[in-house]
Amino acid sequence: MLELATFSLLNGVVYGLLLFMLSSGLTLIFSMMGVLNFAHASFFMLGAYFSWQVGRWVGFWPALAIAPLACGLVGALVERYGLRKVHPQGHVAEILFTFGLSYVIGELVVMAWGRAPIENRVPASIDFPIFTLMGTSYPFYKAMMMAISVAMFAFLWVAFKRTRVGLVIQAALTHPQMVGALGHDVQRLFVLVFAVGSALAGLAGVIGGFALLTEPNMAVALGPIVFVVVVVGGLGSIPGAFIASMLIGIVQTFAVALDYSLLDLFRAAGIPVAANSALRELYAIKIAQAAPIIPYFLLVLILVARPRGIMGTRDQ
Amino acid sequence: MRHAARWWAACAALLALLPWVPGLDGNFARSLLSQMGIAAIFAISYNLLLGQTGLLSFGHAVYFGLGGYAAIHLLRAVNGGVPIPVPFVPLAGALAGLAAGIVLGSVATRRAGTIFALITLGVGELVHAASLMLPAFFGGEEGITASRTRAPHFLGLDFGSQLQVYYVIASWLLASALLALAFMRTPVGRMCNAVRDNPERAEFIGYNPQRVRFIACSVSAMLAGLAGGLHAINYEIVTSEAVGAMRSGEVLLMVYIGGVHHFIGAIVGAIAITWLQVSLSSYTSAWLLYLGLIFMAIILYAPGGLAAILVKHAAIWRSRAMGGVLRAYALALPAALMMVGGAVTLLEIAYRLSTQPEAGARMTLFWIPMDAATPWPWLGAAAVAFAGFFLLRRVAPRVRDAWDLALHG
């Protein structure tokens, strides 16, 4: 039991950090440009595919750098030649543009790599046990995933709080016109922010790709969960995104390991449930089966109890 | 008012005569028309949210699907002996849609804008995931089936043929369009527009925007449920795919491509996209890619959608300046065809190689046999596409000038 709890916790933290890598890029783009990027998970998927492809040509370690850079480049092009033109039409048109983009990226991935999942295995160079705990070994690549996400968080922190560009970006969040009047090119900052956000999603894709199934549907499967994280944490708040990612990551990982249902609870408490009861089917659902809907359930709960999200500051 | 009555009578006559028009009088065409009718009701309901109230929803299929399930369960009861004629079964869908709209809408409409979009996305995923978990009501993977012919006859009709079902759908389409237009003219409908344009001012004159959004959401959900109910009697099966994200995305594409600023836009979009789906998907498996590209092109270059393009050309027609515009089009058309043709050829070659590797590299596209193992088809198609692109950029100002001349003199 203790072993199960420890490893569920470790895996939950890894999953949570992965969610955080995705949601921090999304939050970054949202708070800077007001654009909710529906194609964010598609950049994650592109990262996974790019790293697999580049990894086959030049090996895993160069791919770890090249794939996110390629994603960043795609993101920069999308911002410069697409989003910027849509911007005057308002936020709905921008959301819809990225929504259409997610369709197109999904189909382009099918076009380039086919419909079937690719064999995106953990490279041998990072697949070895790093420590053994209670008879179960913990693989190095999971530790590396953790390290990279923490390093990324640190990088974001330093880049925003300690560098000149970061300060200009922070100023542009609230006073874009004033920043422009001081001679900074706000348009170029937008391109930069979108590229960095896409590159972060791509990096998450490189190290998250082999934890999940790399197939053309992965963006559709992961996208909504990332949005849930962002809303639960409070739209635009990076610390909120962190808390929500961890919460969802850990809760969902624990839920998968729990093979109990409401029916078991009633039985333990001595409450009889009629065999032909209409709700019996509902009661019989195991927590493990219900794991995929937990994030959405949490979303509805949060919206009823605290509509602005955990760390949100204002009702928009 | 008499003018409006005449207009509606013309619409009814058109809907009645459509399945007898040569070319549309086969079983396939009639089933396509039925499909378009269902899509049109769904799109009208969606446009009450997006176009009229300014609410972007990513989970509208929830109401469609729940309506479909309610109707199919009622149809099963009818098969078991409950005496309700088939044309009224979709009303169960409308009721279920309304109920779902009231329950889910009360949560979702607490917020507008981006957050509303995200809530609807989450609720959509929640319902879809739940539908796979509760097979007794939702039928799991294989869905719920019923028969529309084992039911009491209505006006002597047994609803066995596609034509009779088409008339049921067409009648409900007319009724929904009337209802939606009438709703838009009520004070609440006007307040929906006000809340869309400026919620703060709507609040200042004494209306609660949240309440207005809630009402719009409920009415829209009711119409979506009706569309789902018609889907149930048309196909006699409802699967969990009916509540899925794919269908929600589809209706969004329909309405936006059709045009959100005009009532007719939703209907135009429903017809165009349904036709595209059916016709494109028989030629190419990449139709979703083309749909996405068309959608992005509309957002970038024609934000008013197809309806705005139609309205613009009607105005040009009335100003008797069509000749000049057509001359400009005649110049632009070859360039546009080159660009699209070249790009489509490139995409098709790549798509076939990756999704049907067993078919080999030899293929025939646009009546031209080619071997994709050599670089020539790629280079040729790319050259044609780029040439078309640059020509189109040269000609585009002429088209714009012709429009300006026709509309502003």
Residue A276 is predicted with a pLDDT of 64
CA distance, residue A153 to nearest chain B CA (Å) = 25
CA distance, residue A56 to nearest chain B CA (Å) = 18
Distance of alpha carbon A44 from alpha carbon A106, whole angstroms: 11
CA distance, residue A236 to nearest chain B CA (Å) = 11
Q: Which residues pair with B368 in a beta bridge?
A: B365
Mean pLDDT to the nearest integer, B73-95: 88
Distance of alpha carbon B135 from alpha carbon B35, whole angstroms: 26
Tokens of A246: 């961890």
Enumerate helices (H) and strands (E) in chain B, giving the number of each: 16, 4
Residue B71 is predicted with a pLDDT of 93
- The kind and range of the H/E element at B13 are helix B2-17
Read off the DSSP letter of residue B236.
S
Mutation site, B115, B197, B261, interface A, largest A CB count within 10 A: B115
Per-residue pLDDT tens for B129-167? 888 888 778 887 788 888 888 777 778 777 778 888 899
Mutation site, A99, A101, A301, interface B, largest B CB count within 10 A: A99
Question: Is residue B118 over pLDDT 50?
Answer: yes
Per-residue pLDDT tens for B222-279? 999 999 999 999 998 888 888 888 889 899 999 999 988 888 899 999 999 999 888 8
Contact A113 B354 (CB under 8 A): yes
Question: Is residue B312 over pLDDT 80?
Answer: yes
Distance of alpha carbon A149 from alpha carbon A21, whole angstroms: 6
Distance of alpha carbon B117 from alpha carbon B58, whole angstroms: 6
CA distance, residue A111 to nearest chain B CA (Å) = 5
Distance of alpha carbon A154 from alpha carbon A172, whole angstroms: 21
Least confident of A275-284, B54-63, B84-93, B330-339: A275-284
Which of B110, B118, B291 is facing A227, going by the closest CB pair?
A: B118
Question: Is residue B327 over pLDDT 60?
Answer: yes
Contact A95 B107 (CB under 8 A): no
Residue B68 is predicted with a pLDDT of 94
Mean of per-residue pLDDT scores for chain B: 87
Q: Which residues pair with B364 in a beta bridge?
A: B369
Residue A316 is predicted with a pLDDT of 44
Tokens of B235: 């196909």
Contact A227 B122 (CB under 8 A): yes
Q: Long-range pairs for B129-134 at CB < 8 Å and ≥24 separation?
A: B129/A292, B129/A293, B129/A296, B130/A293, B131/B65, B131/B240, B131/B243, B132/B240, B133/A285, B133/A289, B133/A290, B133/A293, B134/A281, B134/A282, B134/A285
CA distance, residue B124 to nearest chain A CA (Å) = 9
- The residues near B344 (Cβ < 8 Å, ≥ 6 apart) are B290
Q: What ipTM does this complex have?
A: 0.87
User: Exposed/middle/buried for B93, CB within 10 Å: 0-12, 13-18, 19+?
Assistant: buried
A-B interface: how many C-beta pairs under 8 angstroms? 130
Tokens of A23: 């949601």
Q: What is the DSSP string of B145-181?
A: E--SSSS--BTTB---SHHHHHHHHHHHHHHHHHHHH
Q: What residue ranges of chain A have pLDDT lower than 50?
A: 315-316
Chain A residues whose beta carbon lies within 8 Å of the beta carbon of residue B58 = 99
Mutation site, A296, A302, A313, A314, interface B, largest B CB count within 10 A: A296
Chain B residues whose beta carbon lies within 8 Å of the beta carbon of residue A89 = 299, 303
Residue A315 is predicted with a pLDDT of 47
CA–CA distance from A111 to each of A57, B242, B349, B362 (Å)? 20, 27, 9, 17
A238: closest CA among A299, A197, A209, A208? A197
End-to-end CA distance of chain A: 44
Chain A residues whose beta carbon lies within 8 Å of the beta carbon of residue B114 = 36, 91, 95, 235, 316
Residue B63 is predicted with a pLDDT of 94
B90: closest CA among B4, B184, B165, B5? B165
Contact A93 B303 (CB under 8 A): yes
Mean pLDDT to the nearest integer, B198-213: 89
A299: closest CA among B117, B407, B95, B378? B117
Residue A274 is predicted with a pLDDT of 67
Are the CB atoms for A82 and A101 separated by under 8 Å?
yes
Which of A97, A220, A300 is facing B107, going by the closest CB pair?
A: A300
Q: What is the DSSP string of chain A?
A: -HHHHHHHHHHHHHHHHHHHHHHHHHHHHHHHH----TTHHHHHHHHHHHHHHHHHHH-HHHHHHHHHHHHHHHHHHHIIIIIHHHGGG-HHHHHHHHHHHHHHHHHHHHHHH-SSPP--PPPGGG-SEEEEETTEEEEHHHHHHHHHHHHHHHHHHHHHHHSHHHHHHHHHHH-HHHHHHTT--HHHHHHHHHHHHHHHHHHHHHHHTTTS--STTHHHHHHHHHHHHHHHH-TT-HHHHHHHHHHHHHHHHHHHH---BHHHHHHHHT----TT-TTHHHHT-BHHHHGGGHHHHHHHHHHHH-TT-SS--S--
